[in-house]
Amino acid sequence: MRAEAEGIEARLKAEAAGLTEKAAAMAALDEASRTHEEYRLRLEAEKDIRLAGIEVQRHVAEAQATVLATGLENADISIVGGESVFFDRLMSSISLGKSVDGFVQNSETAQALAGPWLDGTASFTDDLTRLLGSLSTSDVQNLTVSALLMQLMKGGGEQAGQIGELLDKAGQLGLADMPLAELNGSAPQRS
């Protein structure tokens, strides 16, 4: 026990002496050398932080893979098109979900448009039901995207500004004059 304590004391004294020597060496450096050493130390710290982040991502990926494996282990799945097609579609779905999450998280416009629905202060289903309740089936079939959005803006209340932004975006994407019947797949797709 005493030998172990003496060993720890000797190691700590050696570390203290090393730090003292390093401090003296740093004081002796000229400004350019000191700046370079500080830059090198910052880079090393950033590298360590990034490596730690990669390690955390690796652990998260392992945990996700374990959850996915557990979920698929007992699933009754009919694989049509072969295992590679199933795996590709599964990975595409996961990738799409992550892309949507990233888009919503990093887009100020998406946050502004969907904010009340995302934070739970509004119900998307209730709002959509209320807004579409006044439309008949024939109205919907003959409506274009822009006409629907204009009707929604009229009855949209506090969401009217957000719906206006959707209308602008639909125009930019060339979807404003597209009939709604084409969007839900009940009519042939336009070229």
pLDDT tens sequence across 34-51: 788 889 999 999 999 999
Task: Indicate the average pLDDT of the chain.
Answer: 77
Q: What is the mean pLDDT of residues 79-91?
A: 71
Q: Between these two residues, 63 and 156, which has the higher pLDDT value?
A: 63
Residue 177 in tokens: 């004059």
**Contact predicate 145/175, CB 8 Å:** yes
How far lies 186's CA from each of 14, 51, 136, 148, 179, in Å?
Answer: 79, 51, 17, 17, 11
pLDDT at 189 over 50: no
Which tokens is 97 given?
């979900």
Report the predicted TM-score, pTM, of the whole model to 2 decimal places.
0.29
